[in-house]
Structure 1
Amino acid sequence: MYNLGSTGLAEAILQTMDQPLLVLRDDLTVEEANSAFYTLFKVDTEETRGRLLYELGNGQWNIPELRRLLEEILPQQSVVEHYRLEHKFPEIGKRIMILNARRLPPEGDRPELILLVISDRTETEQARFELEGYVEFGEKLIDSTREALLVLDWDLKVVRANRPFYDAFQVSPDDTKGRLIYELGNRQWDIPRLRELLENVLPNNNAFDDVEVEHDFEHVGRRVMLLNGRRLDHLDLILLAIRDVTEQRRMEKERETQVGELHHRIKNVLTTVDALVRRTLRDSGSLEEFGRAFESRLGAMARTQDLLVRAPRGSVDMSEILRLELQAHGGREGGNFNLDGPAIALPQDAVQAFAMAVHELTTNAVKHGAFASPEGRIDIQWTVQAGEGGATRVMFRWRERCPIITSAGRTGYGSRVLEAAFRHTLKGSSRLTLHPDGAEFSAEFQL
C-alpha cells in the first residue's frame, strides 16, 4: 500500500471523518476505507481493501449509476459534487446517498487515486418527505374543513385561509394573505372582542373555545360566530376556527318562541275545555244531552286548533273559520250558505273566541234555524273600516232565512258564548234579532 502521509496526518483525518470515505486506485480497487464506511455498510477490512469496488459485499456495489459516475463522468472532469445515488442494500436496506468524487493525479511513487466521499441522506430525506407529507396533510385538512379557518403568524398576519372563509365573508385571497387580520375587508375584522382573544387570552392560555361573537359585516350583514383558537408554539402560528351559527341562533330563538306560544296555547285550550265542561253541564238537562253538546263543542275547538297549527304566523283568515264550521254541519257554500267579505287575518288570541261564537251560531241554525229546514239558507257578510290608532274595525252580519224559526225559550250557554266572544274577548258589541223569516246576528269588533 501507498503511504498517504509521511506523518500519518492524512490517515488520522481519514479515520476521524464521520462520513464514509473510500480511496480508490485508478482500476477502481479499494486502497483504503475509513471506519464510518465499515460501520454504515456493515463490512470489514479484509473483504474491502484490495477488492474491486463493484465486488464489495457480494456485488452490492455493482450499481449502474455508480459505474456511470466513475467510468464516464469522473474521467472527463477531476471533481464531481452532489451526485445523487439511491440503492437498496440487502442488509441495511434502501439508502439515499450524495457522492462527492475527486481524482488525485499521481505524485512521486503514488499512482493516481480517487477520493469518494459518501454522505448518507436517507434519514434526512425521509424526514423531509414526512415533513412535506405533514404540510400537505395540513393544507388539505384546512381546505376540507367546512368551518372557516385562518392561519395567522405571531404578528397576526394571515398566512393561509381556506375556501369556506373566502366564501362566507366574501373576500379574495389577494386581499387576505399577508394582511393583518384587523385590516381584512376594509377593517371589518377590527372587532374588540377578537382583539382581546388574540392579544390577551391566547398568549396566556394557548387556546380558547366556543367564544361567541356578534358583528355586523359590510357585505354579509350581522353574523353570530363561535371562535376557537390555538397557539402552535413550535410553528410560531395561530389557528383560528370560525363557525357561523347565525342561522342556528335564529332557529333557537324561533323555537323558544314557538315553545312559548305552544305553552300559552295549551294553557288556553285547557282553560276553555274546563269552561266548556262546567257550562255545558250546567245547561244540560241530562247526561245524554251533555254528551252531545260537549262533543259538538269539543269538535269545534279541535277544528280551530287544526287551523291554528296549519296557519302561518298563528293568524287565520276569518272566512276559513266560517267555511270550516258551516261545512262541518252540512253546509254547502253557494247552496245553503254564502260568504261575502274581504280577507281578514284574525290573530291567534281572537281565533278561538270567534270560532266558538261561529260554532254556537251554526249549532243554533241546525237546531232552530236555517239548517233545520231544507229551504233555509244563511248569508254572512262583513266589511272593514279604519279604526282608531291604525286598528281595523270589523262589521259582521249573520242573516238566516227559513220558513219557520223556533226559540230555545231561554238564554243558554250559546248566548253567553256570543256575548263573551264579541263583547269581552274581541272588545266589541253584538245583537241578536229574531225576524219572522229567520234570525239575524250582527256584531262589531276591533283588531
Structure 2
Amino acid sequence: MQIQQDDALASAILETVRLPLLALDPELRVETANNAFLEHFQVTRDETLGRLIYELGNGQWDIRELRHLLSEVLPERRTVSDYRVEHEFERLGRRVMHVSGRRIARRDHQDLVLLAISDDTEREALRAELTGRVELADKLIDSVREGLLILKPDLSVHSASGSFYNLFEVNPKQTVGRLVYELGNGQWNIPQLRQLLEDVLPRERAFDDYEVTHVFDDIGKRVMVLNGRRLDHMELIVLAIRDITHIRESDARFKEVTTAARLGVFEADWRAGTLYWSPEFRDIIGYPQNEPPITDPVPDFIHPEDRSALARLHDEVRHPRGSGTIFHEHRIIRPNGEVRWVQMHGRVELAEVVGDRSPMRVRGVLIDVTEKKTAELQLRESEERLSLALTIGGLGTWDWDLVTGAILWSDEHFRMEGYEVGEVVPSYEAWIARVHPEDRAATERALTSARDENRLYQHEFRSLHPDGSIHWLDAQGRFFYDSGGHATRMLGVMRDITEQKRWADTQAILVAELQHRTRNLLGVVRSISEQTLRTSDSLPDFAGRFGDRLAALSRVQGLLSHAEQEAVSIGALVHSELDALGATAGTDRIITEGPQVRLRNRTVQTLALALHELATNARKYGALSGDHGHLSVTWTMHREDGGELRLVLRWIEDGIHLRREGERANSGGYGRELIEKALPYSLGAKTSFDLTETGLHCCIDLPVSKQQPGRE
C-alpha cells in the first residue's frame, strides 16, 4: 500500500514539474515521461513509453553526447548536472540542451535513471545576442569621437570610452571607480558640471549642448559641449563630452581674418527661415548692428540698375538644378548716398529627398571691391589712352615670354606684319616668316646680340607682305633677366617707317636735283649778266635790264617749284610774262590762244627767258608801247614725219611804227640772240625772227612732252 502511494506521489511530482523529465529503466527504456517532455519535443506518450531512448523520434535521440552521458559518465558518478548536448531535430531544428541525470535505487525494483532536460536554445540565443549587443555598444562607444563617461548614481565613474581617455590624456586606472569631480586630481571639479549633474539632470532627466570652458593643468584650455542622459532602468548616467576647442579657435581666427579683410559673412537657412549678417557685412552696407536683417531677396540698398540682375541670380540660386555656386558683382547705396561696388561669393547646400534636390541653405561672403573696381576702371582708361596713342602714333607692341615662348601682339603689330588681327597665333616663327629674306640674318643677329649683351634692341628691317608689298619697320625693345642672368621676357614697340624711307629717298633725289638746278641757274644768271652787260649803254641801263631779266627768271622758278605737283603749261608761261608787264590777255589788242600743253622742266626756263625778252621789247618798242598795236600769241601742236610731237608758238605784233631807225634791233639784240641761237642749241628748236617797221613775226618750233587735253 505504501509503495503505491509513493509511486502516485512520484508521478504527481513528475507531472507538476515544468521541466521535461524522463525516467529510464536499467536498459535505458522509457518508463515515464512527463507532459512537459511530450509537449516540448512534440511526441505522444505511446511513441515514448517502453522505447529505448535512442529510438525516440525515429532515432532522432541517438545523440553521441547523450550516449556518452548514459553509458560512461552516469554509471561512474551516479549524478550529473548540466551536461551540454546539441542536436538538430527534424521538427524542432537545432536545439541546445543541458541534461542533468541521477541513478535512483528502488527496494523492490531495479535502479531508475532520472533525466531532467533543460532546453536552453532560446536562452543561449538571447545570451549570444546580449553579448553581441554589449560588444557592439562597447565598440560604438569607442568609435564615437566624443568622450563618454558612464556614471553611477553616486556620480562615480562606471566606465569611459577610449575617446575620453585620448581627449583628456588619462587611463582607466585613473578614471574608473573615482568620483567624477576627483578625476585629474580634482580638475573636473567644475562648477558648471556640478550644476548640470546635481541640479539640472535630476529635474530634467537630460540636458543638451551645454558649452563649458575650463583650463586643465595638463592639456590647457578646453571648450566642451556637454550632453547628459539618465538611464533609470539601469541606474546609470551617460555624460557625452565633445571637445570643440579647435572649432572655437578656428571661429576666432576666421573672425579675425574677416574683420581684418573686411569680409562680410552671410547665411540664409530657407528651411528654418533664418538670415544672418555678420557685423562686417553690416559695416559694408552701412546697416545698423542692432536691427534684424532684411529678408527681401533684393533689398532697397541695391543700386537700381543692378536689381534686375540680382533678382535673376536669386531665382537661379533657388532653382533645384542650379550650379550651386554664387559669384556676382553689383553696386550698393549706403545710407549716406555713397555708391560702393561689392562682390558676392557663396555656396548653396542642397538636400535630396526621395531623389529630388532642394536648396536648403546658402552661405557666403560679401567683399567691398570699390577700390579694385576704381583701379580697374583707371587701368582700362589708361590702356585705352595708351592704345589710342599707339594707334595715332602708328606703333605696334609685343610682349614675349621667353620661358614659355608665348607672345602678345597689339592689333597694329598684326597689321604691320601683313596679318589680319587674330589671323595667326603670335610667335617668333610667325614674325620671322614676314621679315624680308635679305634682312632675316641681320635682324636675328641684332636680336641675339641685344639679348646676350643686355642692351637695347634697335633695328630696321623690311617686312614682305603676302600681296608682295614691302614695308620698312623700325623695332626697339628691351630684354628682362632673372637673378641668374637668363633672359625671361622682352617688351618692345615697332613703327612703320616706309613713308619715312620713301621721303628720305625722295629728299636725296630732290637735293641732287636742287644742286643740279642751282648750278644751272647760276650759269643762266651768269650768261644773262654777261649778255646784258654787252648790250647795255650804261650802268643804270644794265641795272634795269638785268633786274627785269632776273625777275623773269624768278617767275619761272616760281612756276617750276610747283612742277612736281603739276607740270608748267605753255599758256601759264605766256600769261605769267604778260601779267608781269601789266598786259591783260583776252582784250581786243592782246590775243592768246592754243591747246593745253605741258612742258618739260628743262624747257620752261629757257623758253620763259625768250618770252620775257619778246614781252619786254613789245612793251618798250612794239605792240604794247602805244595804243594802236596788236599782239597775237598762238600755239599749236603737230607731229613730224619721224613721229616727234612738237609745239609751234607764233608771236605776232602789228600796228607799230619804230620811232628811230634801228631802235628795236639794238634793244632786242639779247632777246633775238636767245631765240635764234640759245633755243635751237639747248632745246632743239627751230626759230624764225622777222622784224619790219610795222610789226614782228617770231616763230618757235620745239619738241615737247605729251599733249594734255583741253585748251588754255
Relative to the length of structure 2, the TM-score reads: 0.42
Residue 223 of structure 1 deviates from its aligned partner by: 0.6
2:654 matched to 1:401? yes
Deviates more, 1:243-252 or 1:152-161: 152-161
State the alpha-carbon separation in 1 of the partners of residues 595 and 535 from structure 2. 36
Equivalent residue for 2:434, pick from 176, 181, 188: 188
Task: Classify the secondary structure of the residue corresponding to 2:596.
Answer: coil
2:473 matched to 1:225? yes
What one-letter code is carried by the residue in structure 1 that aligns with 2:402? W
Equivalent residue for 2:413, pick from 140, 146, 165: 165
- Report the counterpart of residue 45 of structure 1 in structure 2: none
State the alpha-carbon separation in 1 of the partners of residues 647 and 257 from structure 2. 106
State the alpha-carbon separation in 2 of the partners of residues 260 and 339 from structure 1. 37
The structure with the largest helix share of the pair is 1
State the alpha-carbon separation in 2 of the partners of residues 248 and 142 from structure 1. 23
Residue 412 of structure 1 deviates from its aligned partner by: 2.2
- Contact 2:446–2:459 at 8 Å: present in 1 too? no
Task: Classify the secondary structure of the residue corresponding to 2:636.
Answer: strand
Residue 353 of structure 1 deviates from its aligned partner by: 0.7
Deviates more, 1:309-318 or 1:272-281: 309-318
Change (3 A) 1:338 1:155: farther
**Deviation per CA, 1:242-279, whole angstroms, max 9, x where unpaired?**
22111111222223333333333333333322222222
- Report the counterpart of residue 626 of structure 2 in structure 1: 373
Task: Classify the secondary structure of the residue corresponding to 1:331.
Answer: coil
Equivalent residue for 2:505, pick from 238, 249, 253: 253
Task: Classify the secondary structure of the residue corresponding to 1:330.
Answer: coil
Equivalent residue for 2:532, pick from 267, 271, 280: 280
State which structure, 1 or 2, has the greater radius of gyration over its C-alpha atoms: 2
Residue 323 of structure 1 deviates from its aligned partner by: 0.7
Residue 320 of structure 1 deviates from its aligned partner by: 0.8
What one-letter code is carried by the residue in structure 2 that aligns with 1:421? A
State the alpha-carbon separation in 1 of the partners of residues 404 and 436 from structure 2. 12
2:460 matched to 1:212? yes
Residue 189 of structure 1 deviates from its aligned partner by: 4.9
2:488 matched to 1:241? no
What one-letter code is carried by the residue in structure 2 that aligns with 1:247? E
- Contact 2:435–2:462 at 8 Å: present in 1 too? no
- Contact 2:396–2:412 at 8 Å: present in 1 too? yes
Q: What does 1:125-144 correspond to in 2, within 5 Å?
A: 143=387
- Contact 1:318–1:344 at 8 Å: present in 2 too? yes
State the alpha-carbon separation in 2 of the partners of residues 211 and 140 from structure 1. 28
Change (3 A) 1:153 1:416: same
Task: Classify the secondary structure of the residue corresponding to 2:494.
Answer: strand
- Contact 1:227–1:240 at 8 Å: present in 2 too? yes
Deviates more, 1:321-330 or 1:248-257: 248-257
Larger RCO: 1 or 2 (CA < 8 Å, sep 6+): 1
Change (3 A) 1:329 1:201: same
- Report the counterpart of residue 601 of structure 2 in structure 1: 348
- Contact 2:560–2:601 at 8 Å: present in 1 too? yes
Task: Classify the secondary structure of the residue corresponding to 2:624.
Answer: helix
Residue 168 of structure 1 deviates from its aligned partner by: 4.0
State the alpha-carbon separation in 2 of the partners of residues 294 and 148 from structure 1. 58
Residue 199 of structure 1 deviates from its aligned partner by: 7.2
State the alpha-carbon separation in 2 of the partners of residues 180 and 240 from structure 1. 14
Change (3 A) 1:172 1:314: closer
- Contact 1:183–1:189 at 8 Å: present in 2 too? no
2:592 matched to 1:339? yes
- Report the counterpart of residue 96 of structure 1 in structure 2: none
Change (3 A) 1:63 1:223: closer
- Report the counterpart of residue 397 of structure 2 in structure 1: 149
**Deviation per CA, 1:214-256, whole angstroms, max 9, x where unpaired?**
1321258321111224333348333343221111112222233
Equivalent residue for 1:309, pick from 518, 542, 561: 561
Deviates more, 1:352-361 or 1:239-248: 239-248
What one-letter code is carried by the residue in structure 2 that aligns with 1:417? L
Equivalent residue for 2:635, pick from 373, 377, 382: 382
- Report the counterpart of residue 13 of structure 2 in structure 1: none
**Deviation per CA, 1:371-399, whole angstroms, max 9, x where unpaired?**
12312112122222346987532222211
Give unmatched runs, 5+ long, in structure 1: 8-25, 33-51, 74-84, 87-131
Q: What does 1:47-126 correspond to in 2, within 5 Å?
A: none
**Deviation per CA, 1:176-217, whole angstroms, max 9, x where unpaired?**
33x5333369x5357524762487435533455331111321
Change (3 A) 1:341 1:400: same
- Contact 2:647–2:703 at 8 Å: present in 1 too? yes
Equivalent residue for 1:176, pick from 418, 424, 440: 424
- Contact 2:450–2:457 at 8 Å: present in 1 too? no
**Deviation per CA, 1:255-305, whole angstroms, max 9, x where unpaired?**
333333333333333332222222212211122222221222122122222
Residue 437 of structure 1 deviates from its aligned partner by: 3.8
What one-letter code is carried by the residue in structure 2 that aligns with 1:275? S
- Contact 2:397–2:412 at 8 Å: present in 1 too? yes
Task: Classify the secondary structure of the residue corresponding to 2:527.
Answer: helix
Task: Classify the secondary structure of the residue corresponding to 1:379.
Answer: strand
- Contact 2:457–2:476 at 8 Å: present in 1 too? yes
Change (3 A) 1:141 1:343: closer
Task: Classify the secondary structure of the residue corresponding to 1:307.
Answer: helix
The number of residue pairs the alignment matches comes to 355
Residue 356 of structure 1 deviates from its aligned partner by: 0.6
2:684 matched to 1:427? yes
- Contact 1:314–1:347 at 8 Å: present in 2 too? no
- Report the counterpart of residue 363 of structure 1 in structure 2: 616
- Contact 1:150–1:158 at 8 Å: present in 2 too? no
Task: Classify the secondary structure of the residue corresponding to 2:584.
Answer: coil
What one-letter code is carried by the residue in structure 2 that aligns with 1:230? R
What one-letter code is carried by the residue in structure 2 that aligns with 1:332? T
Task: Classify the secondary structure of the residue corresponding to 1:273.
Answer: helix
- Contact 1:342–1:382 at 8 Å: present in 2 too? yes
Change (3 A) 1:340 1:193: farther
- Contact 1:354–1:421 at 8 Å: present in 2 too? no
- Contact 1:176–1:184 at 8 Å: present in 2 too? no
State the alpha-carbon separation in 2 of the partners of residues 387 and 371 from structure 1. 34
- Report the counterpart of residue 440 of structure 1 in structure 2: 697
- Contact 1:153–1:238 at 8 Å: present in 2 too? yes
